[in-house]
């Protein structure tokens, strides 16, 4: 009887500790992604910002006259939640602000911006070299950004 009670207490304690773990995805409030190429002509900087129900796309030119273009698309809760599941919050929070040498020798730069629990963090890295903590998310965000190719 004592062993059954001890086993029951152990199971209950384990269950309670597991239920206290953070739901990392629920903490992500906004997601942003962008690219830039310093030595290019035309629209060299582009980024997207994903809010609650829409994606905003911005592109601008380098130089004194950026001539920024903006477009937006509606987004479902399911789409945003699907992206949030790709966020590995604890791994992302460990990343430095800059990884490698973004846009050196016009190799381009990419960045991810996450607003988590009211705090904004941006991580910039060499184009095409996403760190493993955000690699899956970057693939999906590139697809979304590319869907705005007709934004004039």
Provide mean pLDDT across the span 131-139.
Answer: 94
Calculate the alpha carbon distances from 63 to 4, 40, 41, 105, 151 in Å. 74, 10, 9, 18, 20
The 10s digit of each residue's pLDDT in 43-75 is 999 999 998 789 999 999 987 888 999 999 998
Give yes or no for residue 95 having a pLDDT over 90: yes
d(CA 135, CA 85): 13
Could you tell me if residue 117 is inside a domain?
A: yes
Give yes or no for residue 11 having a pLDDT over 70: no
Could you tell me if residue 83 is inside a domain?
A: yes
Give yes or no for residue 10 having a pLDDT over 90: no
Task: Check: CB of residue 51 under 8 Å from CB of residue 57.
Answer: no
Could you tell me if residue 95 is inside a domain?
A: yes
Could you tell me if residue 33 is inside a domain?
A: yes
pTM score of the predicted model: 0.79
Could you tell me if residue 40 is inside a domain?
A: yes
Q: Which domain holds residue 103?
A: 28-147
Could you tell me if residue 14 is inside a domain?
A: no
Instruction: Report the relative pairing of strands 119-126 and 109-116 from DSSP bridges.
Output: antiparallel
Could you tell me if residue 94 is inside a domain?
A: yes
d(CA 32, CA 56): 9
**The domain spanning residue 138 has which CATH number?**
3.30.1560.10
């Amino acid at each position: 009887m004592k062993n059954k009670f001890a086993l029951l207490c152990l199971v209950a304690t384990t269950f309670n500790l597991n239920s206290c773990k953070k739901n990392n995805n629920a903490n992500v409030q906004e997601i942003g992604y962008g690219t830039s190429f310093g030595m290019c002509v035309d629209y060299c900087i582009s980024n997207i910002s994903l809010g609650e129900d829409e994606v905003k796309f911005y592109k601008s030119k380098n130089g004194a006259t950026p001539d920024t273009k903006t477009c937006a698309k509606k987004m479902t809760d399911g789409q945003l939640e699907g992206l949030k599941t790709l966020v590995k919050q604890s791994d992302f929070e460990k990343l430095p602000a800059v990884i490698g040498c973004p846009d050196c020798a016009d190799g381009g730069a990419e960045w991810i911006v996450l607003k988590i629990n009211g705090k904004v963090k941006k991580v910039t890295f060499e184009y095409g070299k996403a760190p493993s903590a955000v690699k899956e998310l970057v693939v999906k965000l590139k697809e979304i950004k590319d869907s705005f190719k007709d934004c004039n």
